[in-house]
Chains A and B, each alone.
Chain A
Amino acid sequence: MLEFLESITGVPTPLLFGQLLLGLINGAFYAMLSLGLAVIFGLLNIINFTHGAQFMMGAFVAWMLLNWLGLGYWWALLLAPLIVGATGVIIERTMISRLYKLDHLYGLLLTFGIGLMIEGVFRNEFGSSGLPYRIPAELQGAWDLGFMFMPIYRGWVVLFALICCLATWLVIEKTRLGAYLRAATENAALVQAFGVNVPRMITLTYGAGVALAALAGVLAAPIYSVNPQMGTNLIIVVFAVVVIGGMGSILGSVLTGFGLGIIEGLTKVYWPEASATVIFVIMAIVLLTRPAGLFGRA
Chain B
Amino acid sequence: MIQASRRSILAAGAALGVAPLSRARAQANTVRIGVLTDMSGTYRDNTGPTSVAATREAAAEFGASHGFAVEVIEADHQNRPDVGSNIARQWYDQGVDLIVDVPTSSVGLAVNQIAREKNKAYINVGSATADMTGPACSPNTIHWAYDTYMLAKSTGGAMVRAGGDSWFFITADYAFGHALERDNAAFVRAAGGRVLGQVRTPFPGTTDFSSFLVQAAAARPKVIGLANAGADTANCVKQAAEFGITRRGIKLAALLLFVNDVQGIGLQTAQGLVCTESFYWNMNDKTRAWTQRVVRRTPTNYPNMIHAGCYSATLHFLKTVAAMGVAAAKASGVDVVNRMKAAPSDDELFGRATIRADGRRLIPSYLFEVKSPAESSGPWDFYKLLQTTPAEEAFRPLAEGNCPLVRT
Contact A223 B211 (CB under 8 A): no
A151 touches B244 (CB 8 A): yes
5 A-B pairs closest in CB distance:
A132-B266, A276-B202, A130-B264, A128-B44, A129-B264
Given contacts A128-B41, A151-B242, contact A134 B264 (CB under 8 A): no
For the complex, is B46 an interface residue (Cβ under 8 Å from A)?
yes
With A128-B41, A223-B242 as given contacts, are A233 and B210 in contact (CB-CB < 8 Å)? Answer: no
The distance in angstroms between the C-alpha atoms of A229 and B230, with both chains bound, is 12
B207 and A233 contact, CB distance less than 8 A: yes
Q: Is the CB of A128 within 8 A of B242?
A: no
A223–B239 Cα distance when bound, in Å, is 6
Q: A129-B264, A132-B264 are in contact. Are A268 and B235 (CB under 8 A)?
A: no
The answer to whether the Cβ of B391 comes within 8 Å of any Cβ in the partner chain is no
Residues A22 and B211 in contact, CB atoms below 8 Å apart: yes
Q: How far is the CB of B394 from chain A (nearest CB, A)?
A: 25
On whether the beta carbons of A129 and B40 are closer than 8 Å, the reply is no
Q: Are B231 and A227 in contact (CB under 8 A)?
A: yes
* 9 other A-B residue contacts (CB within 8 Å) besides A128-B45, A224-B238, A272-B199: A15-B214, A22-B214, A123-B44, A130-B231, A142-B244, A227-B42, A227-B264, A269-B211, A275-B201
Residues of B within 8 A of A223 (CB): 238-239, 242
Chain B residues whose CB sits within 8 angstroms of the CB of A205 once the complex forms: none
**29 A-B pairs (CB sep. < 8 Å):** A15-B214, A15-B218, A22-B210, A25-B210, A26-B208, A127-B260, A127-B300, A128-B41, A128-B45, A129-B44, A129-B45, A129-B46, A130-B264, A132-B264, A132-B266, A132-B269, A142-B242, A142-B243, A148-B214, A223-B239, A224-B208, A225-B231, A225-B234, A225-B235, A234-B207, A272-B202, A272-B212, A273-B173, A276-B205
Q: Is A91 an interface residue (CB 8 A)?
A: no
Residue A265 is within 8 A (CB to CB) of chain B in the complex: yes
Q: Report the bound CA distance from A225 to B230 in whole Å.
A: 10
A130–B42 Cα gap in the complex (Å)? 9
How would residues 262 to 296 of chain A score, 1 for a CB under 8 Å from any chain B CB and 0 otherwise? 00010011001111110000000000000000000
Residues of A within 8 A of B231 (CB): 128-130, 225, 227, 229-230
Q: Is the CB of A129 within 8 A of B211?
A: no
Q: Are B212 and A268 interface neighbours, CB within 8 A?
A: yes
B207 and A230 within 8 A (CB): yes
Proximity string of chain A (220-241) to chain B, C-beta cutoff 8 Å, 1 when within and 0 when not: 0001110101100110110000
Knowing A230-B207, A275-B206 touch, does A129 contact B243 (C-beta < 8 A)?
no
Please determine whether B214 and A275 come into contact, CB atoms closer than 8 angstroms. Answer: no
> Is residue A258 within 8 Å, beta carbon to beta carbon, of the partner chain?
no
B204 / chain A contacts, CB cutoff of 8 Å: 233
Q: How far is the CB of B12 from chain A (nearest CB, A)?
A: 31
The verdict on A129 contacting B234 (CB below 8 Å), with A123-B40, A224-B207, A276-B206 known, is yes
Shortest CB-to-CB span from A220 to chain B, Å, is 8
Contact assessment for B40 and A18 in the assembled complex, using a CB-CB cutoff below 8 Å: no
Chain B contacts for A18, CB-based, 8 A: 214
A128, A229, A273 pick with most chain B CB within 10 angstroms: A128
Q: Which residue of B lies closest to A152 (CB)?
A: B242
- Chain B residues 190 to 227 lying within 8 A of chain A, measured CB to CB, are 199-202, 204-208, 210-212, 214-215, 218
A206 CB–B CB distance under 8 Å? no
Residues of B within 8 A of A229 (CB): 41-42, 231
A273 CA to B204 CA, complexed, in Å: 11
Question: Which residues of chain A have C-beta atoms less than 8 A from B230's C-beta?
Answer: 128-129
Question: Is A224 in contact with B235, judged by CB distance below 8 angstroms?
Answer: yes
Per the bound structure, the CA–CA distance linking A135 and B243 in Å amounts to: 12
* CB under 8 Å from chain B, chain A span 120-139: 120, 123, 126-132, 134-135
Which A residues are CB-close (under 8 A) to B44?
123, 127-129
B43, B173, B258 — most chain A CB neighbours (10 Å):
B173
Q: Can you list, as one digit per residue, whether each of A231-259 has a CB less than 8 Å from chain B (1) or not (0)?
A: 00110110000000000000000000000
Considering the complex, give the chain A residue whose CB is closest to the CB of B205.
A276
Assess A128 versus B215: contact at CB under 8 Å? Given A142-B243, A223-B238, A233-B204.
no
Query: What is the minimal beta-carbon distance from A66 to any residue of chain B, in angstroms?
Result: 12
**Nearest A residue to B267 by beta-carbon distance?**
A132
B207 near A19 with CB under 8 A, answer no
Q: Evaluate contact between B200 and A129: CB separation under 8 angstroms.
A: no
User: In the complex the two chains form, is B45's CB within 8 Å of A127's CB?
Assistant: yes
Give every chain B residue within 8 A of A19 (Cβ-Cβ): 211, 214-215
Q: Which A residues lie within 8 Å of B40 (CB)?
A: 120, 123
Q: Which listed residue (B45, B215, B243) contacts A269, Cβ 8 A?
A: B215
* Chain A: CB-nearest residue to B173: A273
Q: Please, what's the 1-or-0 string for A13-24, where 1 marks a CB less than 8 Å from any CB in chain B?
A: 001001100110
User: If A130-B234, A223-B238 touch, does A272 touch B200 (CB 8 Å cutoff)?
Assistant: yes
A92 CB, nearest partner CB in chain B, Å: 27
Q: Is the CB of A134 within 8 A of B218?
A: no
- Give the nearest-CB partner of A12 in chain B: B218
A153 within 8 A of B: yes
